[in-house]
Amino acid sequence: MIRLSRGTLVTLAGLLVGAAGLVIQWIAEPAKFAEALPPLGVAFPPGIAFIAVAAVLTLLTSRWWWHPVFAVVIAFWIVGVGTLAGELTPNLTSNNPGTVTGNLVMSAGLITTFITGIRTTTARHPTQHPDQAPHPT
């Protein structure tokens, strides 16, 4: 059985909230996601698939200290790069309240993922090689 740290659980919960925000946007404005994904044959927010892959990779690598990196990267890509590219801001100022709400929920979840993922990674980072003796104090 996999035992996940509290930080990992919060990181994964943030990804789940981010995906929920995308679902809210999808329900509010389905035409925005007009391109169908071939395997599904339905219009679908592709960000959900990217978030799901990051969550699975985070879980599969959970025994290593660096495992939240996948969640951190996708959160930064969607919120950070999305903001820098000018994709996020128009959605936050949209006339559609569902789009705005979905973006706020998504951003809150992914910002939580980003912060918690970095904190979890740095907290679990090995400070010395296992073969090294501790430094005298």
Q: Is residue 55 in some structural domain? A: yes
Residue 132 in this model has a pLDDT that exceeds 60: no
Q: How many domains does the chain have?
A: 1
According to the model, what pLDDT value does residue 46 have? Answer: 87
Average pLDDT, the chain: 88
Q: pLDDT tens digits for 57-88?
A: 999 999 999 999 999 999 999 999 999 999 99
Percent of all residues in the chain with a pLDDT value above 90, rounded to a whole number? 70
Q: Is residue 24 in some structural domain? A: yes
For strands 36-37 and 42-43, give the pairing: antiparallel
Q: Is residue 4 in some structural domain? A: no
According to the model, what pLDDT value does residue 31 have? Answer: 81
Q: Is residue 21 in some structural domain? A: yes
43 vs 104, which has greater pLDDT? 104
Residues of the domain holding 61: 14-33+43-124
Q: pLDDT tens digits for 85-109?
A: 999 999 999 999 999 999 999 999 9
Which long-range contacts link 29-35 to residues 24+ away (Cβ below 8 Å)? 29/96, 29/98, 29/99, 32/99
Q: Is residue 115 in some structural domain? A: yes
10 vs 39, which has greater pLDDT? 10
Percent of all residues in the chain with a pLDDT value above 70, rounded to a whole number? 85
Q: Is residue 135 in some structural domain? A: no
